Amino acid sequence: MNEITVDGEPLPFVEGQTVAAALVAAGRVAWRTTRTGRRPRGVFCGIGVCFDCLVTIDGVGGQRACLVPSRPGTTVTTVTTVTTGEGGDE
Ligand code: FES
């Protein structure tokens, strides 16, 4: 089984899924919060434009999870483990 590691936990993915797709498939709809207001963010545009999906991947921060393919052994660190969200403008 293909797995990435997210916040120290194994997360399965299907070949061809981005990191964001693997997170969403696992039920994670938000994984960071905004600097002001602490509003939850996950995937919004899904095409690399909005930067809502930022994570740290293999030690490199500020990666757009919607653009990075999941690969076995990839290590992902999120800023938060928020699982529900609300709208906002950040
Ligand atoms: S969801 Fe918009 S950049 Fe990733």
pLDDT in tens, 31-89: 999 988 999 999 999 999 999 999 999 999 999 999 999 999 999 999 864 444 454 44
For residue 8, report the distance from its CA to the centre of ligand 1, in Å. Answer: 23
**Ligand 1 proximal residues by C-beta, below 6 Å:** 43-46, 48-53, 64, 66
Q: Looking at 1-90, which runs of residues are DSSP E strands?
A: 3-6, 9-12, 32-33, 40-41, 54-57, 60-64, 75-77
Write out the CATH class of domain 3-77. alpha beta
Is the predicted pLDDT of residue 22 greater than 50, yes or no? yes
CA atoms within 13 A on the CB side of 1: 7
**What's the token pair of residue 56?**
């740290």
For residue 41, report the distance from its CA to the centre of ligand 1, in Å. Answer: 10
Smallest CA-to-CA distance from 50 within 89, 7, 1, 22 is with 89
Q: Check residue 89 and give its pLDDT.
A: 46
Ligand 1: nearest atom to the Cα of 50: 2
For residue 80, report the distance from its CA to the centre of ligand 1, in Å. Answer: 16
Q: Contact, 19 vs 4, CB < 8 A?
A: yes
Q: What average pLDDT does the segment 12-21 reach?
A: 97
Q: Check residue 44 and give its pLDDT.
A: 97
Q: Check residue 35 and give its pLDDT.
A: 86
